Amino acid sequence: MLTDEELIELIKGGEGGEGERVEFTSAAQDMDKLRQAICAFANDLPNHNQPGVLFVGLKDNGDCAGLSVDDALLKTLGGLRSDGKIHPFPAMTVGKKKLQGCEVAVIQVMPSENPPVKVDGRCWIRTGPQRAQATAEEERRLTEKRRWGNLAFDMHGVAGATVEDDLDMQKFETEYLPAAVSPEVLEENARSAEDQLRALRLVTRDGTPTATAILMLGVDPRRWFPGAYIQFVRYDGGEVTDPVLDQVELSGTLSGQLREADFLLKRNITTALDMSGDRHVEKPDYPFVALRELVRNAVIHRNYDNSTAPVRISWFRDCLQISSPGSVYGEVTRQNFGDPDATSYRNPAIAEAMKYQGFMEHFGTGIAKARKALKENGNPPPELRPEDTFVFVTIHKRP
> pLDDT per residue over 181-226, tens digit each?
887 777 776 778 888 999 898 999 899 999 999 999 999 999 999 9
Position 283 pLDDT exceeds 70: yes
Distances (CA, A) of 257 to 81, 253, 357, 369: 28, 6, 13, 21
204, 114 in Cβ contact below 8 A? no
pLDDT at position 15 is 43
Average pLDDT, the chain: 90
Q: Which residues contact 327 (CB under 8 A, 6 or more apart)?
A: 386, 387, 388, 389, 390, 391
Of 83-87, 159-163, 268-272, highest mean pLDDT: 159-163
If one compares 68 and 130, the residue with the highest pLDDT of the two is: 68
Give the residue range(s) of CATH 3.30.950.30 domains in the chain.
Answer: 4-132
Indicate the class that CATH gives domain 4-132. Answer: alpha beta
Position 239 pLDDT exceeds 70: yes
Residue 42: which H helix or E strand, with range?
helix 31-43
Give the residue range(s) of CATH 3.30.565.60 domains in the chain.
Answer: 230-396
Distances (CA, A) of 214 to 114, 309, 352: 19, 17, 14
**CATH code for the part of the protein at 230-396:** 3.30.565.60
User: What Rg, from alpha-carbon coordinates, does the chain have?
Assistant: 23
The pTM for the full model equals 0.78
pLDDT at position 364 is 73
Question: Residue 229: CA atoms inside 13 Å, Cβ hemisphere, count?
Answer: 15
Q: Dmax of the chain from CA atoms? A: 78
218, 165 in Cβ contact below 8 A? no
Position 10 pLDDT exceeds 80: yes
Residue 146: pLDDT band (50, 70, 90) is confident
DSSP string, 252-307: SSHHHHHHHHHHHHHHH--EEEE-SSSS-EEEESS-HHHHHHHHHHHHHHS--SS-
As a dihedral over the C-alpha atoms of residue 155, residue 159, residue 164, residue 170, rounded to 10 degrees, the angle is -30
> pLDDT per residue over 316-332, tens digit each?
999 999 999 998 877 77
